[in-house]
Amino acid sequence: MKLLEGKTAIITGASKGIGKGIAEVFARHGANVAFTYLSSVEQAQAFEKELSKLGTIVKGYRSDASDYTAAEKLIEEVLKDFGAVDILINNAGITKDNLLMRMTEDDFDAVMRINLKSIFNTTKAIQRTFLKQRKGSIINISSVVGVKGNAGQSNYAASKAGMIGFTKSVALELGSRYIRCNAVAPGFIETEMTGKLDEKTVQGWREAIPLKRGGSPEDVANACLFLASDLSSYITGQTLQVDGGMLT
C-alpha cells in the first residue's frame, strides 16, 4: 500500500544521509518530492535524476536553510512547480562539536542558525498555504541529544532541544486548523559521515544500544512516513525517538 499517493513533500537537506533516505521512502510511497541542498551540488543533481525513475515528480532546489528570504522564495517556487504542498520535513542540519571551553561564538551561531532558525524560516513560509488548505504535516528532525544533552555538543543540543519546543508550540497554535507538527529524535544513525569513523569505536556504540545496531536512514524515514501519512492523523506535538532504545 502506498501511504503518500498524490501528496507533495518538501524535505530540506536531502542530498545525502537521513534526508536522502526520507526522500527515497516517500517517493516509493507515491509522494512528489521537492528537496533542498546547499554544497553537494553534483550529488543532489544525480539524486534528482535517480529518484525521478520511481515515477513521481522530483526536483532539487539549491537553498540555504538558514536564510529567511531564501526559504520564502523556496516555498513560492515549490508551490509554482508542484501546485500544492502537504508535508514539510525540516531535516537540514550540521554539527560543530567542541567542549564549551573551546567553542567559538561562530560555531554556536552557525549551529543555531542552520538547525533551529531554519525551521522558523520554512514553517513561517509554508504556514499560509497550510492554513488555507486546512491541512499539513510538519516534521522536525531533532535528536536524542536534544532530549538528553551531550558533552561536547552544547550548541547542537541547544538547537535540537529548541526544535522540540518549537514543535510543541506550533502544534498548539495550528492544531485547530488540522495542521500537525511533530519531531523525530534519531539516536545513532549510520550514514556516509559515520562510515568514516573508527570501526572499533562505532562497534562499542552499537553494543551499548539495546537493539544492538546503529540505525539506518530508512529507520528514520519510516517514522517520518508514519507521521506524514494519515495513519497519524490524531498525533501532534510529539517527539518520536528512533534510537534502538538508546534513551530508555
Strands (E), 63-209: 87-90, 136-141, 179-186
Q: In the annotation, is 61 catalytic? A: no
Estimate to the nearest angstrom the gap between the alpha carbon of 221 and the chain centroid.
9
3-state secondary structure 172-223: HHHHHHCEEEEEEEECCECCHHHHCCCHHHHHHHHHHCCCCCCECHHHHHHH
Sole binder of ligand NAP in the list 1, 39, 80, 200 (CB under 6 A): 39
Residues 6+ apart with CB under 8 A from 117: 66, 68
Least Å from the CB of residue 194 to ligand NAP:
6
Q: Which segment (10-18, 22-30, 50-58, 201-209) binds ligand NAP by CB under 6 A?
A: 10-18
- If binding is defined by CB under 6 A, does position 162 make contact with ligand NAP? no
The binding track of 91-120 with respect to ligand NAP, each residue x by CB under 6 A or -, is: xxxx-------------------x------
- If binding is defined by CB under 6 A, does position 85 make contact with ligand NAP? no
Site for ligand NAP, residues 187 to 206, rule: CB under 6 A? 188-189, 191, 193
Q: Which segment (9-17, 48-56, 131-139, 197-205) binds ligand NAP by CB under 6 A?
A: 9-17
Q: Which three cell numbers stand for residue 22?
A: 526520507
From CA 216, how far away is CA 237, in angstroms rounded?
A: 24
Residues annotated as part of the active site: 156
User: In the complex, which residues of this chain contact ligand NAP (CB under 6 A)?
Assistant: 12-19, 36-40, 44, 64-66, 91-94, 114, 141, 143, 186, 188-189, 191, 193
